[in-house]
Copies of this chain bind each other. A is one copy, B any other.
Amino acid sequence: MARIVMKFGGTSMAGIERIRNVAARVKREVEAGHQVAVVVSAMAGETDRLVGFCREASSLYDPQEYDVVVSAGEQITSGLLAITLQAMGVPARSWLGWQLPIHTDTAFAKARIGEIDTTALDESLASGVVAVIPGFQGVAEGNRVTTLGRGGSDTSAVAVAAAMKAERCDIYTDVDGVYTTDPRIVPRARKLSKVTYEEMLELASVGAKVLQTRSVGLAMKEQVRVRVLSSFDDARDEDGHRGTLIVGEEEIDDMERQLITGIAHDKNEAKITLTAVPDRPGAVGSIFAPLADAGINVDMIVQNIAHSTGSTDVTFTVPSADLARSLDVLEKGQGEIGYASLVHDTRVAKISVVGVGMRSHAGVASTMFQTLGARGINILAITTSEIKVSVLIEEDYTELAVRVLHTAYGLDAEAA
């Protein structure tokens, strides 16, 4: 007997037929003797429909009322899954965010989960009743409904798993796991059977969008073992596993450990260059402080060496969606910053190689530069972390770069 959390996304919950498929999977775990809590998303498209209503009602909608509206989607699917489970002979009940309760802060529309009270839940699970919990929602001080921001159901699942001390949090989705890179670019990409939290964070934030980044961070903090697997496909690996397990580094044997775990790419960045910025203390601060104030996330930053004129060029990237606002902020600050010109380019891509193994191996970065150089791919910027090396290149070379790096680091699967 173990306690497990199963989480199903919107595609898995889209319509009663698919909800029956979900219920059948839950039933299998119950019959295996487990105590099961299920966290569900709204039906695919439903949250968009509800968000659309709010936006139509007012472009400046009150997030407290937005949360009342959009949380309804998960409320509906949680009741429907409970009904479907009961119809299959599996005792089940729904627990809305305010019923459990799942306490959050008061950051409406993007709330963070605080404490989850599991007293009633523990009792219900112990009596053999499956708990169906709508993802994405909670309740704040003053008894107001909150939501966690888009994709928040993954975070709900991990938080519930942590609170109920679940052995595992299974995230069912429309892909069968985490791959070494995007299989649409590299058909010989391999599914990873295990990946560390840290690697998953780097892979998720740079483009391998399987799990919400926040949920991975929470899983790491709370040491929740997360598994990503398919709702629709029961295929197992040669070693009998399904999906990809996301765990702490200590759970990965040396035997399994690879130098590089995966290659990610992200085309949603834009590059901004300020030329001839005065090379004096505080100059860089005057660029980035107003961007931070505007809530814009600056990613890669490169400061060239100073020109003999006593000025320097500063290049950095921002999310493409924030480019217009960034340019606005920088143009307004030209007097204070004192740059000569402002150049931007959206036709760039960030390519990252990720792996905890690189901590103890030199040469990862230089392999990357040489491999790209050999194909004539120009590197516009570089950043590194302990387990990641990222480069900015021209967008047109994205697929080529991913493919050659995948081969260079020995990630290609054996030909079938």
Contacts and interface: CB of A to CB of B under 8 A. Distances in A.
Interface string A47-60: 00010011011101
Nearest to A53: B80
Interface residues on A, range: 35 or more
Contact of A72 (B60, B75, B86, B143): B75
Contact of A54 (B53, B67, B72, B83): B83
A53 B76 contact: yes
A145 interface: yes
15 contacts: A16-B56, A50-B76, A53-B80, A57-B80, A57-B84, A58-B83, A61-B83, A61-B87, A62-B86, A65-B80, A66-B79, A68-B79, A68-B96, A71-B75, A75-B75
A389 to B, nearest CB: 46
A65 B87 contact: no
Dominant SS among interface residues on chain A: helix
Contacts of A67: 79
Interface of A: 16, 19, 50, 53-54, 56-58, 60-62, 64-69, 71-73, 75-76, 78-80, 82-84, 86-87, 93-94, 96, 98-99, 143-145
Contacts of A143: 99
A200 to B, nearest CB: 33
A64 B99 CA distance: 14
A64 B76 contact: no
Contacts of A86: 58, 61-62, 65
A412 to B, nearest CB: 45
B80 A64 contact: no
B96 A145 contact: yes
A19 to B, nearest CB: 7
Contact of A62 (B62, B78, B82, B98): B82
A102 to B, nearest CB: 14
Contacts of A60: 87
- Taking each of A76, A79, A86, which has the highest tally of chain B beta carbons within 10 Å of its own beta carbon? A79
B94 A57 contact: no
A385 to B, nearest CB: 42
Given A58-B86, A72-B75, A87-B58, A65 B94 contact: yes
Contact of A65 (B53, B56, B79, B145): B79
Contacts of A87: 57-58, 60-61
B83 A62 contact: yes
A79 B69 contact: yes
A100 B194 CA distance: 48
A75 B73 CA distance: 10
A21 to B, nearest CB: 13
Contacts of A79: 54, 65-69
Contacts of A144: 99
Nearest to A100: B143
Given A58-B87, A99-B143, A68 B78 contact: yes
Contacts of A68: 75-76, 78-79, 82, 94, 96
A78 B145 CA distance: 13
B62 A80 contact: no
Contacts of A69: 75-76, 79-80, 83
A66 B86 CA distance: 12
A83 B69 CA distance: 10
